[in-house]
Amino acid sequence: MASKLLRAVILGPPGSGKGTVCQRIAQNFGLQHLSSGHFLRENIKASTEVGEMAKQYIEKSLLVPDHVITRLMMSELENRRGQHWLLDGFPRTLGQAEALNKICEVDLVISLNIPFETLKDRLSRRWIHPPSGRVYNLDFNPPHVHGIDDVTGEPLVQQEDDKPEAVAARLRQYKDVAKPVIELYKSRGVLHQFSGTETNKIWPYVYTLFSNKITPIQSKEAY
């Protein structure tokens, strides 16, 4: 097995099970799971310069622009030069993908294709704890007490954009923005697409793909 560092990216619409797949990849293969949403929350909490810039957009319910997200992620990646990593939520746009390409070569890109009806059902069952970003699903990852965060005991909320009428718009937006990113990685021969309605059925294929690139630290049953 080559000792080259593995650089991987996961793409998928909201509700596609990206978070679950990322956790399993991190546990099984020892990759650092680098989530743009997590870094954004951390920077806003710490009032860093980039956090303050992002906050101005979020408070107005606007998308954080490419240059802010790119700057945030570039500094995080700079700190992790010697690690295997898996990017989640970045690159979201072609501009971000091109910026990433300037600093490193991506070896492996996973794209999750989940039917619209499945996404709609999953998102309508999704509740979150805004301060931490913890996500619960009433079907396969419910909180111990309904409506309450397991760790802090604070109330959970359902986001406006997880409500069915908003899901269709989000999915359309995701597809429009992700299409050129997917095409870029496809043309480079690093894209692997997985389709299905259940994460547990997609997972063995993802596991096999990663096993061909990096030695597992534990068996695939470990989830």
Cα–Cα distance measured from residue 178 to residue 191, given in angstroms and rounded to the nearest whole number: 13
The mean pLDDT of 71-76, rounded to a whole number, is 92
pLDDT bracket for residue 218 (50, 70, 90): low
Q: Which two tokens stand for residue 133?
A: 């970003």
- Give the global pTM: 0.82
Residues annotated as binding site for AMP? Answer: 36, 41, 62-64, 89-92, 96, 170
pLDDT in tens, 102-158: 988 999 999 999 888 888 888 888 899 988 888 898 887 899 999 999 999 999 998
pLDDT bracket for residue 159 (50, 70, 90): confident
Residues annotated as binding site? Answer: 15-20, 36, 41, 62-64, 89-92, 96, 126, 135-136, 170, 199
Q: Which has the closest alpha carbon to 26: 70, 87, 73?
A: 87
What ranges do the domains of the chain cover?
Answer: 5-31+79-210
pLDDT in tens, 32-71: 999 998 899 899 999 999 999 999 998 887 888 999 999 9
Return the CATH number of the domain spanning residue range 5-31+79-210: 3.40.50.300
Q: Which residues pair with 9 in a beta bridge?
A: 87, 109
pLDDT in tens, 177-209: 999 999 999 999 999 999 988 889 999 999 999
Residues annotated as binding site for a ribonucleoside 5'-triphosphate? Answer: 15-20, 126, 135-136, 199
**147 Cβ contact partners less than 8 Å away, ≥ 6 residues apart:** 127, 155, 156
pLDDT in tens, 18-31: 888 999 999 999 99
